[in-house]
Amino acid sequence: MGPLAWKVLGTGAAVLAGTVANQVVSKGWNLFSGKPAPSDPLNTDEVSWKEAMLFAAITGFVVQAARVAAQRKAAQYYQRTSGHLPKAMEKLRAEADKAGRK
Protein backbone atom coordinates (compact mmCIF):
# COMPACT_ATOMS: atom_id res chain seq x y z
CA MET A 1 0.00 0.00 0.00
CA GLY A 2 1.19 3.49 -0.77
CA PRO A 3 0.56 7.00 0.50
CA LEU A 4 -2.53 7.43 -1.68
CA ALA A 5 -4.10 4.30 -0.22
CA TRP A 6 -3.49 5.62 3.29
CA LYS A 7 -4.98 9.02 2.44
CA VAL A 8 -8.12 7.39 1.07
CA LEU A 9 -8.39 4.87 3.92
CA GLY A 10 -7.60 7.30 6.75
CA THR A 11 -9.71 10.15 5.41
CA GLY A 12 -12.62 7.90 4.50
CA ALA A 13 -12.63 6.32 7.95
CA ALA A 14 -12.53 9.73 9.65
CA VAL A 15 -15.32 11.20 7.52
CA LEU A 16 -17.56 8.17 7.98
CA ALA A 17 -16.95 8.07 11.73
CA GLY A 18 -17.63 11.81 12.05
CA THR A 19 -20.88 11.54 10.13
CA VAL A 20 -22.13 8.59 12.16
CA ALA A 21 -21.08 10.23 15.44
CA ASN A 22 -22.91 13.42 14.53
CA GLN A 23 -26.09 11.44 13.86
CA VAL A 24 -25.71 9.58 17.16
CA VAL A 25 -25.33 12.86 19.07
CA SER A 26 -28.39 14.31 17.35
CA LYS A 27 -30.52 11.27 18.18
CA GLY A 28 -29.18 11.19 21.74
CA TRP A 29 -29.97 14.88 22.16
CA ASN A 30 -33.54 14.24 21.03
CA LEU A 31 -33.87 11.24 23.34
CA PHE A 32 -32.56 12.97 26.47
CA SER A 33 -33.87 16.50 25.97
CA GLY A 34 -37.15 15.66 24.26
CA LYS A 35 -36.35 18.31 21.65
CA PRO A 36 -34.73 17.95 18.24
CA ALA A 37 -31.02 18.73 18.05
CA PRO A 38 -30.30 22.36 17.24
CA SER A 39 -30.20 22.75 13.47
CA ASP A 40 -28.59 26.17 13.81
CA PRO A 41 -26.98 26.76 17.22
CA LEU A 42 -26.32 30.38 16.19
CA ASN A 43 -30.07 31.11 15.94
CA THR A 44 -30.77 32.90 19.22
CA ASP A 45 -34.54 32.61 18.74
CA GLU A 46 -34.41 28.81 18.53
CA VAL A 47 -31.60 27.82 20.92
CA SER A 48 -30.48 29.16 24.30
CA TRP A 49 -26.80 29.83 25.05
CA LYS A 50 -26.74 26.87 27.42
CA GLU A 51 -28.18 24.50 24.81
CA ALA A 52 -25.90 25.81 22.07
CA MET A 53 -22.75 25.43 24.17
CA LEU A 54 -23.73 22.03 25.54
CA PHE A 55 -24.61 20.70 22.09
CA ALA A 56 -21.32 22.04 20.66
CA ALA A 57 -19.27 20.50 23.47
CA ILE A 58 -20.94 17.10 23.25
CA THR A 59 -20.78 17.05 19.45
CA GLY A 60 -17.14 18.12 19.38
CA PHE A 61 -16.08 15.49 21.90
CA VAL A 62 -18.01 12.59 20.36
CA VAL A 63 -17.11 13.40 16.74
CA GLN A 64 -13.40 13.86 17.49
CA ALA A 65 -13.25 10.69 19.60
CA ALA A 66 -14.93 8.72 16.81
CA ARG A 67 -12.52 10.14 14.20
CA VAL A 68 -9.46 9.24 16.30
CA ALA A 69 -10.76 5.73 16.93
CA ALA A 70 -11.54 5.21 13.23
CA GLN A 71 -8.14 6.48 12.10
CA ARG A 72 -6.36 4.28 14.63
CA LYS A 73 -8.30 1.24 13.38
CA ALA A 74 -7.52 2.21 9.79
CA ALA A 75 -3.82 2.50 10.67
CA GLN A 76 -3.90 -0.93 12.32
CA TYR A 77 -5.51 -2.39 9.19
CA TYR A 78 -2.94 -0.64 6.98
CA GLN A 79 -0.08 -1.95 9.11
CA ARG A 80 -1.49 -5.48 9.16
CA THR A 81 -1.92 -5.60 5.39
CA SER A 82 1.25 -3.75 4.35
CA GLY A 83 3.62 -4.72 7.14
CA HIS A 84 4.33 -1.13 8.19
CA LEU A 85 2.59 2.01 9.37
CA PRO A 86 1.78 4.71 6.82
CA LYS A 87 4.82 6.93 6.22
CA ALA A 88 3.08 9.97 7.69
CA MET A 89 2.45 8.06 10.92
CA GLU A 90 5.97 6.65 11.03
CA LYS A 91 7.30 10.21 10.79
CA LEU A 92 5.03 11.36 13.64
CA ARG A 93 6.07 8.38 15.76
CA ALA A 94 9.76 9.12 15.14
CA GLU A 95 9.27 12.78 16.10
CA ALA A 96 7.39 11.78 19.26
CA ASP A 97 10.10 9.29 20.20
CA LYS A 98 12.77 11.94 19.62
CA ALA A 99 10.88 14.51 21.74
CA GLY A 100 10.40 11.93 24.48
CA ARG A 101 14.14 11.33 24.74
CA LYS A 102 14.94 14.99 25.41
pLDDT digits (tens, 9 = 90+) for 52-99: 899 999 999 999 999 999 999 998 998 898 888 887 777 777 888 888
Domain tally, the chain: 1
Range of the domain at 19: 3-100
What predicted TM-score, i.e. pTM, was given to this entire model? 0.77
Give me the DSSP letters along the chain. --HHHHHHHHHHHHHHHHHHHHHHHHHHHHHHHSSPPPS-TT-TTTS-HHHHHHHHHHHHHHHHHHHHHHHHHHHHHHHHHHSS--HHHHHHHHHHHHHHT-
Q: What is the pLDDT of residues 2-39, one digit of tens each?
A: 778 888 988 999 999 999 999 999 999 999 999 889 88
